[in-house]
Chain A
């Protein structure tokens, strides 16, 4: 993979976040949700959400993401507990 893709640079944490989403076939809605979570928690490394389950755990109990709570529970189960 080159240093630049069609839609911009392929280096940096944002690009890495997208690469991981692509790796796991995460749909755009979920991707957007995950991005919002990492934005809210002010993480410079959004990709950490795929490594460390503390972010999903926190979001599940977060009022701001109550409407997606079920999806997040499901993701947490699938990613970190199976």
Chain B
């Protein structure tokens, strides 16, 4: 147990300039009293003497587990001790220092480690190469695991320092050929660090060639990270852009697509203009479907933002439109609005009846806006589809099928055309019944007329049956009564039949004629619905 007396004595021994104090302090390092050991360590460390550092290092190295429990043994002090030990002549001490440096991630020893890279000490030269790489790897992991923003900022500060230590030997790579240097550099550096810029500045240099090779085939995650950091960089070196365009492995490209994202900013899109091709982005790539799975939009964004020739874009869009994934087809359809010409129109016509309603709706809108010939036959198929997206697309692009427009024109349409369009109007315009309901009670005869005609053509007559019968019977306008009788002929019920029959003896000849026509129409419809009946 340390007493006030011993505590004061040990602290004094730490402060005194009398070198004899060391002889009293050193034995305390082996004391059974932890407090005395800790105080002695602290007092000795403050002597700032390299021989004492070695003594402390050896003491620490003998029993690291115990010493690490003491507050006096912090990272800075340990770095200083290990760094001193690493400079020792004794190989055993140097080896142990190397072990502790790696175990405790003592990045501060890097300048000394780097000095050994090109030294004559063969053992340490080999060891230091291993250490540089291991320290870089540890640092990379620390960066990846730093969740706390403050910790991350501190590490970012150290990061630049770390790379600066590598700068000089990296510049001598052509002569020293220390591969671990380039690896460590790529592991720790950011693309905007001066050393990295120097490496890529001369694409013929050995360092640049090796860095490119590592980013192309190296297995360390950081090599990919470094390469990916250039994806949206407009000032990236040409040699890196070539590699970005060349890499085709699924996992890399998918990460690349993650960076672009489904809604890239203008800056990102602009940055992609520098690419004229990507090896993976071709319909002939057997892995393309796997690459784009779940990232179709990102792939399409990349395709459309790049400078890939239009002919190739169309063939890639065709591939997307033929995929099973609706997302792939939909994103391709959406992108195709940026392309004009017969070829893209032909491609869209081939896919306008896509099973995915969203895709079909997008394509229909594009084709309709371009008035592409050949759409009409496909229109009659699309209009029958029940999906709201398609109906909305038709509603938005074909105003002729709005109930109001139809009502204003129905008087001039041939009966068969009116019947056909009436059915479409009912499918497309959800306001049809409301418009009929408003007009059928209008004081304006032409509105009542068109309401009866539209009710008959769209199949809504049954809904307004009572009002239609009332109009047929009592309306002041013969034309309106005739329209009401025509509407009644579309209601295939006994009641409607009886009403029509009642008008066969009307005092107005036009109404009698209209009743005859209505009766014939009613019978034809009834027989069509009930074949075999008289």
Chain A contact residues, CB within 8 Å of chain B? 1, 3, 10-13, 15-16, 19-20, 23-24, 45, 47-48, 50-52, 78-82
Are B9 and A51 touching (Cβ within 8 A)?
A: yes
Cα–Cα distance between A73 and B361 once the two chains are bound (Å)? 102
Closest to A53 in B: B6
Q: Which of A1, A3, A15, A52 contacts B20 (CB 8 A)?
A: A15
Which segment of B10-18, B251-259, B335-343, B474-482 sits at the interface?
B10-18
Set of chain B residues within 8 Å of A23, measured between Cβ atoms: 8-9, 12
A16-B24, A79-B3, A80-B3 known; A50 and B18 CB under 8 Å? Answer: no
Q: Which of B4, B9, B18 contacts A10 (CB 8 A)?
A: B18
Q: Which of B10, B16, B18 contacts A51 (CB 8 A)?
A: B10
Are A11 and B19 touching (Cβ within 8 A)?
A: yes
Closest to A15 in B: B18
Closest to B19 in A: A11
Closest to A22 in B: B12
Q: Is B23 an interface residue (CB 8 A)?
A: yes
Set of chain A residues within 8 Å of B20, measured between Cβ atoms: 11-13, 15-16, 45, 47
Set of chain A residues within 8 Å of B24, measured between Cβ atoms: 16, 45, 47-48, 50-51
Are B5 and A12 touching (Cβ within 8 A)?
A: no
A21–chain B nearest beta-carbon distance, Å = 11
Q: Is B314 an interface residue (CB 8 A)?
A: no
Closest to A51 in B: B24
Cα–Cα distance between A47 and B6 once the two chains are bound (Å)? 12
B 126-156 binary contact with A (CB < 8 Å = 1; else 0)? 0000000000000000000000000000000
Q: Is B468 an interface residue (CB 8 A)?
A: no
A10–chain B nearest beta-carbon distance, Å = 6
A47–chain B nearest beta-carbon distance, Å = 5
A16-B24, A47-B24 known; A1 and B17 CB under 8 Å? Answer: yes
What are 26 A-to-B residue pairs whose CB atoms are below 8 Å? Answer: A1-B16, A3-B17, A11-B20, A13-B20, A13-B23, A15-B18, A16-B18, A16-B21, A16-B24, A19-B12, A19-B18, A20-B9, A20-B12, A23-B12, A45-B23, A47-B20, A47-B24, A50-B6, A50-B9, A51-B27, A78-B5, A79-B5, A79-B6, A80-B6, A82-B3, A82-B4
Cα–Cα distance between A73 and B10 once the two chains are bound (Å)? 22
Cα–Cα distance between A11 and B23 once the two chains are bound (Å)? 12
Are B6 and A16 touching (Cβ within 8 A)?
A: no
